[in-house]
């Protein structure tokens, strides 16, 4: 750039000198060019001399040793709440709906009246069945009397044995007819009871799908009229899908817990957090693990049971669940800003005793209380650059300022005060670690 500017300046001066020589006759063209070069050369030399780099003091950086802390790693999942009990309320007999005994969305108890179907046709059918049963009872009584009268007569041969057999057969036939009529009475009573639809479980009822005055079709099957639905509220289930790798990890943790006398996955406690909550302020317990992995997704279905006395959780709602993914161990942690990255690896810059920066690749773990777990690459006695990395390069000298690391307050409020935290399968310490 400098040479190009010099050439351009000389060209302009030559043009100006030529014009001056042509019009004013002030000396030769060679004299003018020599004079111009004599004026430009000192300026270029002075610029060249000032371009030499100046050596300054080494840049100041802040270095710290990794923070050692006993932690437990937690695996997070997205789960969905499902009711323990869910019932579709359908009509079991035909008739006109005459009464609705609840409000939409109401909390109801088992046995409370929900619907009334017109009972009058079934009351008439019950009365008819009772009358037929009374007729059959009278016939049985008459047939029994005939048999009792015929026994002494048959012994004295006043009547034949065939006549006696016929009387006994009539008695048995009357008794069978009485049992049939009795069954009809019970069926009529059952149909009449179906006209009053009561809640089979305690829970929250949905809206009314059929209003009073409509004709409903019974039968109890899929062809019957759906009146409403009820789901239980407390307790409630939360289902999660565990990956195959994590399932193997938990299996090994279960084996280790069994040897150490700890708890297994089945029965382990979990932490639960809703979308508008930070951390995992609620607690539940794993009560079911499926017996096989889903071939389509490669996941294992597990279920946690959770108290829901406050009614905060609802069926179909999503939530975050965490489950202990390791036993307790001592981890070395650094702030995320101390970790650099390139196209292939993560690394940190260490400062040796001679004040020289060195690049060290590292293998990272999850976040814990706002700091990153470093699995491999640094030791507890290493000094790591935590601030000022942008001003240095590996191999350069630095002016280090030593500082002790402190746990960040970024996630210390993740567990609500007084809320029971999740418990690890093997009885390990309960510390929140985000992957």
Residues sharing a CB contact under 8 Å with residue 178, sequence separation 6 or more, in sequence order: 133, 136, 137, 139, 140
- Helices 120-155, 161-193: axis angle to 10 degrees equals 160
User: pLDDT tens, 33-76?
Assistant: 455 545 544 444 444 444 444 467 888 899 899 988 888 888 89
Q: Percent of the chain scored above 70 by pLDDT?
A: 79
Domain spans of the chain, in order of start: 1-32, 59-84+233-435, 87-231
User: pLDDT tens, 97-142?
Assistant: 999 999 999 999 999 999 999 999 999 999 999 999 999 999 999 9
Say whether the peptide bond before residue 235 is cis (omega within 30 degrees of 0).
yes
Residue 240's Cβ-side half-sphere holds a number of Cα atoms within 13 Å equal to: 25
CA of residue 206 relative to chain centroid, distance: 25
| In contact, 184 and 58? CB cutoff 8 Å | no
- Show the DSSP H helices in 110-160 as ranges: 120-155
Q: What CATH homologous superfamily does 59-84+233-435 map to? A: Efflux pump adaptor protein, beta barrel domain (2.40.30.170)
| In contact, 116 and 194? CB cutoff 8 Å | no
Task: Judge whether 59-84+233-435 and 87-231 match in fold.
Answer: no
Mind listing the pLDDT tens digit of every residue in the chain (435 residues)?
Answer: 454 555 565 556 555 555 554 444 444 444 544 555 455 444 444 444 444 444 678 888 998 999 888 888 888 999 999 999 999 999 999 999 999 999 999 999 999 999 999 999 999 999 999 999 999 999 999 988 988 888 888 888 888 888 888 888 998 999 999 999 999 999 999 999 999 999 999 999 999 999 999 999 998 677 899 999 999 999 999 999 999 888 888 888 777 665 554 445 778 889 999 998 888 999 999 999 998 899 899 999 999 999 999 889 999 999 999 988 887 788 899 998 889 888 888 999 999 888 899 999 999 988 887 888 998 889 889 999 998 888 888 888 888 888 888 775 444 333 333 333 333 333 333 334 343
CATH, range 87-231: 2.40.50.100
């Amino acid at each position: 750039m400098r040479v190009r500017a010099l050439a351009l300046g000389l060209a302009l001066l030559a043009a100006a000198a030529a014009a001056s020589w042509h019009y004013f006759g002030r000396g030769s063209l060679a004299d003018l060019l020599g004079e111009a070069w004599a004026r430009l050369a000192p300026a270029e030399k002075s610029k060249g001399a000032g371009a030499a780099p100046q050596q300054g003091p080494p840049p100041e950086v802040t270095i710290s040793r990794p923070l050692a802390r006993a932690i437990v790693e937690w695996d997070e999942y997205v789960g969905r709440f499902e009711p323990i009990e869910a019932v579709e309320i359908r009509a079991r007999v035909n008739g006109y709906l005459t009464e609705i005994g609840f409000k939409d969305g109401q909390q109801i108890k088992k046995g409370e009246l929900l619907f009334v179907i017109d009972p009058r046709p079934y009351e008439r059918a019950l009365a008819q069945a009772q009358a037929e049963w009374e007729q059959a009872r009278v016939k049985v009584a008459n047939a029994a009397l005939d048999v009792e009268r015929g026994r002494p007569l048959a012994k004295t041969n006043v009547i034949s044995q065939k006549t006696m057999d016929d009387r006994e057969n009539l008695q048995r036939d009357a008794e069978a007819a009485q049992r049939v009529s009795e069954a009809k009475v019970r069926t009529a009573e059952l149909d009449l009871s179906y006209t009053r639809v009561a809640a089979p479980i305690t829970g929250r009822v949905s809206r009314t799908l059929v209003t009073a005055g409509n004709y409903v079709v019974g039968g109890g099957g899929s062809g019957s009229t759906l009146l409403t639905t009820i789901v239980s509220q407390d307790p409630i289930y939360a289902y999660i899908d565990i990956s195959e790798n994590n399932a193997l990890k938990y299996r090994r943790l279960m084996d280790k817990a069994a040897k150490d006398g700890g708890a297994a996955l089945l029965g382990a406690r979990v932490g639960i957090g809703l979308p508008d909550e930070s951390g995992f302020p609620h607690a539940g317990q794993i009560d079911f693990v499926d017996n096989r992995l889903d071939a389509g997704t490669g996941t294992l279905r597990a279920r946690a049971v959770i108290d829901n006395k406050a009614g905060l959780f609802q069926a179909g709602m999503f939530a975050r669940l965490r489950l202990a993914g390791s036993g307790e161990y001592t981890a070395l942690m650094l702030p995320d800003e101390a970790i650099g990255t390139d196209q292939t690896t993560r690394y940190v810059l260490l400062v040796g005793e001679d004040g020289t920066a060195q690049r060290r690749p590292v293998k990272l773990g999850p976040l814990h209380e706002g700091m990153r777990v470093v699995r491999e690459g640094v030791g507890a006695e290493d000094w790591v650059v935590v601030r000022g990395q942008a001003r240095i390069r590996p191999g350069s000298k630095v002016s280090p300022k030593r500082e002790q690391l402190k746990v960040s307050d970024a996630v210390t409020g993740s567990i609500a005060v007084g809320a029971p935290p999740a418990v690890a399968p093997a009885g390990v310490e309960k510390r929140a670690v985000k992957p």
